[in-house]
Amino acid sequence: MTLCIKRLAAVFLAGILILGPAAKSGVCETVVTPSVGARTAFDDSTLGKGDSDLEFQLSPSFKVEGGSEVTRLGLQGRLDAYQYAEHDDYSRENAQLGADVSHGVSERLQLRLGAKWVRDHSVESEFDESGITTEKAARNHYTATPGLTLRVSERDDVSVEGSAGIMQYESTGYTDYLSTGLTTTWSHAVGDGLWRIIGQAGAQNYRFDRVDGETEQMVLSALAGFAWKASETLEFQVLGGVSQTESDVDFDWGQSMDDSQMTFSGSVSGTWTDEIWRLTLSADRSESPSTYGELITRDRLRASFGRNMTERLYLGLQLAWYMSKTAGLVQDENTQTYSLGPTLRYRLAEDITLDGGYQFTHEDDIEAEEVTDRNRVYLGVTVAWPGVW
2, amino acid identity: T
Q: What is the pLDDT, as a whole number, of residue 291?
A: 87
**∠ at Cα 233 (232, 239), nearest 5°?**
95
Reported as a pLDDT band with limits 50, 70 and 90, residue 123 is confident
Reported as a pLDDT band with limits 50, 70 and 90, residue 149 is very high
Q: What is the mean pLDDT of residues 91-104?
A: 96
pLDDT at residue 44 tops 50: yes
Reported as a pLDDT band with limits 50, 70 and 90, residue 69 is confident
Q: Please give the biggest Cα pair distance in the chain.
A: 66
Q: Element (H or E) spanning 14, and its range?
A: helix 2-24
Mean pLDDT of the chain: 91
pLDDT at residue 15 tops 70: no
Three-state SS at 226: strand
Give percent above pLDDT 70 in the chain.
Answer: 93
Question: Residues of 38-52 as b/e, b for ≥16 C-beta within 10 angstroms?
Answer: ebebebebbbbbeee
Q: What is the mean pLDDT of residues 185-195?
A: 94
pLDDT at residue 91 tops 80: yes
Residue 310 DSSP one-character state: S
Cβ–Cβ < 8 Å for 117, 78: no
Q: What is the mean pLDDT of residues 289-306?
A: 94
Q: What is the mean pLDDT of residues 208-230?
A: 96
pLDDT at residue 389 tops 70: no
Reported as a pLDDT band with limits 50, 70 and 90, residue 28 is low
Reported as a pLDDT band with limits 50, 70 and 90, residue 21 is very low
Alpha carbon separation from 118 to 76, 167, 327 (Å, rounded)? 11, 10, 28
Three-state SS at 74: strand
If you compute the radius of gyration of the chain from its CA atoms, what whole number of angstroms results? 22
Output the pTM of the full model. 0.89
Q: What is the mean pLDDT of residues 43-60?
A: 93
pLDDT at residue 155 tops 60: yes
